[in-house]
Amino acid sequence: MARVHLWSSLRRFADGQEMVEVEAATVGQMFDALARAYPGLAPAIAAGLSVAVDGEVIANSRSAPVRPDSEVFLLQRLKGG
């Protein structure tokens, strides 16, 4: 299962866990699995997150692959001008 690391303000929606595991083959499936397992994460996911999978930042690609042994970090999406 992919290991998904949550930044501090998201942990409260995942029972205080810093890292959770989900089964997913793509970033989109990972987001869906996280929202099912931890419904409190759904609003943050819907608002938009940046993701780093195995050290590579993925921007706006729900089809990007996630392997069973992937290390995934959810990151706040920076907005501004």
**Residue 81 lies inside a defined structural domain of this protein:** no
**Residue 55 lies inside a defined structural domain of this protein:** yes
Residue 75, classed as helix, strand or coil, is: strand
Instruction: Tell me the per-residue pLDDT of 56-69, one tens digit each, with 9 for 90 and over.
Output: 998 778 999 999 99
Contact 48, 62 (CB under 8 A): no
Residue 46 CA, distance from chain mean position: 11
Contact 9, 78 (CB under 8 A): no
Q: What's the whole-model pTM score?
A: 0.90
User: What pLDDT is attached to residue 28?
Assistant: 96
**Residue 42 lies inside a defined structural domain of this protein:** yes
Domain of residue 13, residue span: 2-76
**Residue 23 lies inside a defined structural domain of this protein:** yes
What CATH number corresponds to the domain at position 41?
3.10.20.30
Segment (H or E) for 29: helix 27-37
**Residue 35 lies inside a defined structural domain of this protein:** yes
